C-alpha cells in the first residue's frame, strides 16, 4: 500500500482549495479543536453568541457532510469526550455520527473507555480511528482490541508533534509501531501519522512509507507551492531529540492488560473537550 495523504482540517474550504490545486487527498481528519476554528464558529463566539450542544452538533454534521462529498476514502469524525466520558456515551455518539456520512471513521481516544467502545464498534462493522496515541503500548492495545477487523477498518493516530514538543522524537514512535505491527503480522490497523508540524515531518513520513499522513492546511499549501518535493535516497531525518526505544509487546494479549496511561493522553482529551465546551460558553 502506498502512502495516502489526508488533510487535517475542520473547514471544507481547505479541502476544496487543495483539491483545486491538484492535491490528491484521499481523506480528511477532523477534531473538536479544528471545528471550532471554522469561520462560522469563530464569528459567533467572537460576538459571545454561544452554541447549544444541538447547534454545534448540527454544524459539525453539516461540515463533515460537505467534506465527505469531496473525498472518497475517509472522513474522521470525533466523539466528544472528556476524562469522565464513558464508553456507552461514546458509543451513542458514534452510532449517530456514523450515519452522517458514508465514509466515516469514528474517532475515539486511545483510552480504556475509547478502546471499550472501539471493540464493540468494530464488531458491528463500523470504522474507527483511535487517536491521541503516544506510546507503543497503546498501539499494541489497539491491535488487540480490534482483532478481527477488516484491513482499513481501524486507523491509529500517533501524534508526532506533541511528542517532539516534550523533547522526544515523535517519528521514532512511528518507526516502532511499524516494526511491531510488521513483526506481529498486524494487517487490520492502518497507521495514520498525525500532529505534523513541519516539512521535515511530512518528508520523513513519506520516506518511511507510513500508511497514511494527515497534515494541516498551511503545511500542505506551502508544500504544494514548492512543487510537492519528496524525499530521495539521500534523505535522512534527525531532529536531535531523544529517541523512543522499541519495546516488545504481545499484540495478542488481552488489550486490558496494557497500560494506556500517558500525560499527553490526559492533556489531549481535556484540550479537545475544553475547545468544544468553549463554544458552548461552558469554559472560563
Q: In angstroms, what is the C-alpha Rg of the chain?
A: 18
- CB 213 within 8 Å of CB 205: yes
Q: Find cell 462560522 and name the residue.
A: 40
- What residues contact residue 124 under an 8 Å CB cut-off, 6+ apart? none
- Residue ranges of alpha helices (H) inside the chain are 12-20, 32-35, 39-46, 53-68, 87-98, 112-123, 136-145, 160-165, 170-184, 199-208, 217-225, 263-279
DSSP symbols for 107-174:
EEESSHHHHHHHHHHHHTT--EEEEEE-SHHHHHHHHHHTTTPPTTSEEEEEBHHHHHHTTB-HHHHH
DSSP label at residue 201: H
Q: Of 21, 61, 107, 166, which one is the catalytic site residue?
A: 107
In terms of Cα–Cα distance, which of 147, 233, 160 is closest to 199?
A: 160
Nearest C-alpha neighbor of 115 from the set 127, 137, 130, 94: 130
The partner residues of 191 in beta bridges, in order of sequence, read 156
CA distance 235 to 224: 19
Q: Is 107 a catalytic residue?
A: yes
**CA 11/CA 13 separation, integer angstroms:** 5
Residues recognised as catalytic: 107
Amino acid at each position: 500500500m502506498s502512502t495516502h495523504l489526508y488533510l487535517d482540517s475542520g473547514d471544507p474550504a481547505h479541502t476544496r482549495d487543495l483539491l483545486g490545486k491538484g492535491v490528491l487527498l484521499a481523506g480528511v481528519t477532523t477534531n473538536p479543536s479544528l471545528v471550532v476554528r471554522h469561520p462560522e464558529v469563530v464569528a459567533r463566539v467572537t460576538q459571545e453568541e454561544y452554541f447549544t450542544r444541538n447547534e454545534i452538533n448540527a454544524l459539525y454534521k453539516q461540515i463533515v457532510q460537505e467534506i465527505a462529498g469531496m473525498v472518497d476514502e475517509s472522513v474522521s469524525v470525533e466523539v466528544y469526550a472528556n476524562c469522565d466520558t464513558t464508553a456507552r456515551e461514546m458509543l451513542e455518539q458514534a452510532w449517530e455520527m456514523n450515519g452522517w456520512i458514508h465514509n466515516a471513521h469514528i474517532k475515539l481516544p486511545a483510552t480504556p473507555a475509547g478502546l471499550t467502545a472501539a471493540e464493540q464498534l468494530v464488531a458491528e462493522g463500523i470504522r474507527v480511528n483511535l487517536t491521541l496515541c503516544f506510546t507503543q503500548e497503546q498501539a499494541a492495545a489497539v491491535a488487540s482490541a480490534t482483532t478481527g477487523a477488516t484491513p482499513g477498518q481501524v486507523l491509529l493516530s500517533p501524534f508526532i508533534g506533541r511528542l517532539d514538543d516534550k523533547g522526544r522524537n515523535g517519528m521514532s514512535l512511528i518507526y516502532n509501531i511499524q516494526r511491531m505491527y510488521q513483526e506481529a503480522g498486524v494487517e487490520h490497523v492502518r497507521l495514520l501519522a498525525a500532529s505534523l508540524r513541519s516539512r521535515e515531518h511530512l518528508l520523513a513520513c513519506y520516506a518511511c512509507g507510513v500508511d497514511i499522513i494527515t497534515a494541516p492546511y498551511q503545511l500542505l499549501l506551502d508544500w504544494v507551492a514548492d512543487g510537492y518535493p519528496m524525499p530521495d535516497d539521500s534523505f535522512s531525518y534527525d531532529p536531535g531529540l531523544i529517541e523512543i526505544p522499541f519495546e516488545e509487546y504481545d499484540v495478542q494479549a488481552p488489550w486490558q492488560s496494557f497500560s494506556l496511561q500517558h500525560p499527553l493522553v490526559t492533556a489531549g482529551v481535556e484540550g479537545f473537550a475544553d475547545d468544544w465546551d468553549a463554544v458552548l460558553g461552558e469554559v472560563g
